[in-house]
Structures are given as C-alpha cells and as structure tokens.
Chain A
Amino acid sequence: MNALAKTVEKDAIYDLATGGLRGLNAALQALDEKNAEKLWTIRNPRGAHALAVGVTVPVRITIDGHAGYYCAGMNDGALITINGNTGTGVAENMMSGLVHVRGDASQSAGATAHGGLLLIEGNAAARCGISMKGANIVVKGDVGHMSAFMAQSGNLVVCGDAGEALGDSLYEARIFVKGTVKSLGADCEKKEMNAEDKEILAALLQQAGCCEAPEMFTRYGSARGLYHFHVDNAGAY
C-alpha cells in the first residue's frame, strides 16, 4: 500500500506507477460507508484494465487519464470520473452510482448495466448500451452501430448521431436520439414522445448538464413484434 499517500485527511492519491492494480481495487472494495468521504484520485492509469471495479460505497473516484477495458465495472454507488478515454465495456453491469467519461468510450459502454447513470462527454463506439437492464446512459457525441442491442430497460440518450442497426431486437428500453440514425435494427421503430418520455428525457438532460430541449430528440422503442416466437418472423430471429 505504499502507493497510497494521504494528502489531506479526506483525500487519497493512488499512483498506479508504483502501486499495483489489485492493491487499488482491494482498497476500494474494502471501503465502507464510514470512510466513503474521501476523494480518491488514481494517477497514471495508462490504459490499465479493470480500474475501480466492484466498488460498493458512494465514494468519489477520479481516474486521471485514459483507462482500459471494463473500467468502473459492476459499480454500485460510487461516483467515478475518468479524465480521458475508456476502453471496451466501461461501467459494464453497473448497479447504481455515476460513471462520467470526459473523453470517448470504446465499444459496449454500459453493457448489461442495471442502474445508475453513465455519462459520456465524447463519442461511444459500437454496441453502446448493449443488453442494458435499467441504467441511464447519456452520450453527448455519437454512438456506433448496434447500440442498445437487446436493451431490456432503462434509457439511452444520444445527443449526436447513431450508427447502423440502432435498437436491434429491443425490449423495453427507451432510446432518444437528437441527430440522425443511420438505420434501425430489427423490431425497433420511431415512437411518439409522450409526456412521461419527455419528463424522463428532460431530467436526464438536466442531470447530464445538456442544454438541449427534449423536443429536439426523436424517441425510438420496440415494435414488440419479436417478443414471442411466431413462425412468420422466423427470418428475423
């Protein structure tokens, strides 16, 4: 634990150039509600994988640079900011909390996430929000192809454009896109934005610090044609 240097009583700096990844995650996972007041800063991430995973207390964590795969995975309550880009699967399977990527996110951002908010300031690559199960994802830039593939519940907000096959095989997640959509996936369709949708979108935009009006977005959702097996749909399965 020599990499852990206390600056002021409430803050901690962990330097990955001198301390190991396992030491970092073990320290973060050992926190309890009593010592969650600290602000943790992780220096020299240099694209390391699995940074700050499995944290279960509402601690504030800043990763000062680019992160690798599965950053902030399984997050349950922590407020994690990445001052850089992230690799595949940022905030995958998040349960609650906030993961804030200041740069771009690679593919499968927020995959299978159950709760919390994933906020991406830049672009997200392919398969953003794949199989999401209740989380909120706000991307200020564009998302790549197959985003929200098989997304079950939660909300994906895209302030830029969406790539091919958006919302393919979608269940009950809501998708809001401000820009263009290259193509919709199987069983995804444009929907009317009702009052509830608008309220949800307005709240998410406000939380994300976006100044866009909800009216600028188009809402997409499931046509519910593929929910149950029907032989006429065999070609689409």
Chain B
Amino acid sequence: MCGIAGLFLKTPSLEPELGRLMSVMLTMLTGRGPDSAGFAIYGKGKPGFRKFTLRARGGFKGLVLPAGLELAAQGDHAVVLVPEARAAELRAALAGQSDIRIAATGTRMELYKGVGLPEDVASRYGLAGMSGSHAIGHTRMATESAVTAEGAHPFSTGADQCLVHNGSLSNHNDVRRVLMRESIEFATQNDTEVAAGFLSCQMREGRRLDEALRDALQILDGFYTFVVGTETGFGVLRDPVACKPAVMAETDDYVAFGSEYRALADLPGIEQAHLFEPEPGRVYFWERAA
C-alpha cells in the first residue's frame, strides 16, 4: 500500500491554495497509509538565504542558535532561515545536538513528517495554510522499516530534493553501500532513502532529474512508483511492471499525481483535466522557470 499525492503548479494563480489542496489529497489517501504521513512544500525563498528544516522529538527548548538566527517552530519541526554564508555556522551549532536532526535543507523546500493519520499530520504542521509552487506528500503503510518519523516519507538527500515512494526495493543494501562510498549520507535503513540518495548522487554529477530517473530504471530493482521534487522540477517514474497504482491529471494550471483518482477529485477544474495513467518504465518530468 502507501499513498502518494503530488501537485505541481504551472501558473502562480493557485499558489496560495497549494497547502490546502495537498492537505485534502493526503487525507483522501488515508486508507492507503494510515500509520504516518509527510510532505515537502516549495514555498517562497529569500535570495541569499538557505532554509533548514529541523526535527526534534523533544522540542527545541534547549537549542541555542548562533546570534541573529531565528527559529520558526511548528511542534517537533522548525524552520531556520540562514544567510548562505552562515550555513556552516548553523551546522556546527547543530552538530552538538544529538536529538535534533536536519530534516532537509534548500532555498525553498520545507519538509514535515510524522507518525499518525495523514489528516492529523497535515494539521499538526499547518499544511492547509501553506503556499508554494509545488508539493509532494505521502501516506505510509510501513513494510520495510519501523513506524517512526524517520521512516516516514518524503526523504531528502540533497538540497531542495525530495522523493516519495510506493513499493519496496530489493537491492537497496547493495546500492546504499555504493552510494556511501560516494559520500551520500543516510539517516535510516529505509529502502526509499536509497532511491533518494541515488538520484541526489546522479544530480550531483550534473545529471538533470529526468536523466537521473532514467538511470534509476537501470540500477534500482524492485517495485516502485516514485514522485520526486527539485527546486524547479517534478518527476514521476513507475517500475517497468507497474506494480503500484498511479493516476495523473494535467490542466493549463497544474500537473497532479495521485495513487488513486479519489485523491484528485477535489482539484479545481478536474472535470476538464487530461487524465492519464503514467506508463510503466517511462520518465515523466515537468519544470518551470526558477
């Protein structure tokens, strides 16, 4: 099982609605993944600044940030906006905090995930009130590793990069070992994190997201439907056997992905959208100007 929802806006008109729409999509997919949920959302960035999304099981009370930096906490998650030049300083301050993880970094992406029903996770972090250009979410029914916030999706292994997965990979241990030698860092034993790490590694080598997804078809073995976000891009890939369900809708205003049509049923203009089932083993990729 597991459910995936993705929404990539082509025009700015729906940007204020993005969080609300994603929240509804995730809630509709509760039946496919009731144990945990998460989402990554690409909001407005600030030129010259980097966003850090932090996650701390025990909260952020004891955290002392370098002078001048502020923390916007939302439960066990927090976002810190830091000038590019001071990112290393923030990393150094966090290095001593064993109970605080850097969940994601980037110029625009924020990433939230936790245990519980998708509706509760979405409201815990205020998803409905968020805006942005694209968002990717996941509802999890765990098969490969423990039901924890760490094991929930999306996974992020590179700046402004995130990936969600429905399925299970069979060669993730082998691929993880190779990637670790390439200095890709992993926080869990989860198979999905390996897929994210693989794409990050390929993109670090200069491959575009669509090219990296084509590489994934050759290297990753198992069942998968992936939806991937980068700062400006949105990609979809299903394994060649098409083990896991997928339906997409495209209009002049957006591209949307749902594990089931139910997740798309509330989107504006869905009645006129071009609906299609992404073909197995074919890379789908959309990009908009940064």
Residues of A within 8 A of B (CB): 46-48, 66, 68-69, 85, 87-88, 103-104, 106-107, 125-126, 144-145
Contacts and interface: CB of A to CB of B under 8 A. Distances in A.
Contact of B261 (A68, A126, A145): A68
Contacts of B280: 126, 144-145
A66 B279 CA distance: 19
Nearest to B263: A47
Given A85-B275, A87-B260, A126-B241, 11 more contacts: A46-B262, A47-B260, A68-B260, A68-B262, A69-B260, A87-B245, A87-B247, A88-B245, A104-B275, A144-B279, A145-B241
Nearest to B265: A46
A125 B261 CA distance: 15
Contacts of B277: 104, 106-107, 125
Contacts of A103: 275
11 contacts: A66-B261, A68-B260, A87-B245, A106-B245, A106-B247, A107-B242, A107-B245, A125-B242, A125-B277, A126-B242, A144-B280
B265 A145 contact: no
Contacts of A68: 260-262
Contacts of B241: 126, 145
Contacts, number: 45
Q: Which of B247, B264, B279 has the most CB of A within 10 A?
A: B247
Interface in B226-282: 241-242, 245, 247, 260-262, 264-265, 275-277, 279-280
Given A126-B280, A144-B280, A145-B280, A85 B261 contact: yes
A144 B279 CA distance: 9
Interface residues of B, number: 14
A125 B277 CA distance: 8
A125 B262 CA distance: 18
Q: Say what secondary structure dominates the interface of chain B.
A: loop
Interface of B: 241-242, 245, 247, 260-262, 264-265, 275-277, 279-280
Contacts of B245: 87-88, 106-107
B88 to A, nearest CB: 48
A104 B242 CA distance: 16
A66 B242 contact: no
Contact of B242 (A48, A69, A85, A144): A144
B244 to A, nearest CB: 10
Contacts of B260: 47, 68-69, 87
A104 B262 contact: no
A107 B265 CA distance: 20
Contacts of B279: 144
Contact of A47 (B242, B262, B276): B262
Nearest to B245: A88
A47 B263 CA distance: 8
A85 B271 CA distance: 12
A96 B31 CA distance: 31
A28 B241 CA distance: 36
A69 B241 CA distance: 19
A87 B264 CA distance: 13
A145 B260 CA distance: 20
A23 B190 CA distance: 42
A85 B264 CA distance: 13
Contact of A145 (B242, B262, B264, B276): B242
B60 to A, nearest CB: 40
Contacts of A104: 275-277
A66 B258 CA distance: 14
Contacts of A87: 245, 247, 260-261
A180 B247 CA distance: 25
B275 A48 contact: no
Contacts of A85: 247, 261, 275
B275 A47 contact: no
A119 to B, nearest CB: 19
A85 B247 CA distance: 11
B18 to A, nearest CB: 21
A202 to B, nearest CB: 31
A145 B241 CA distance: 8
Nearest to B276: A104
A47 B258 CA distance: 11
Best-buried of A47, A48, A103 by chain B (most CB within 10 Å): A47
B2 to A, nearest CB: 15
A49 to B, nearest CB: 8
A144 B240 CA distance: 11
A68 B264 CA distance: 12
A106 B261 CA distance: 11
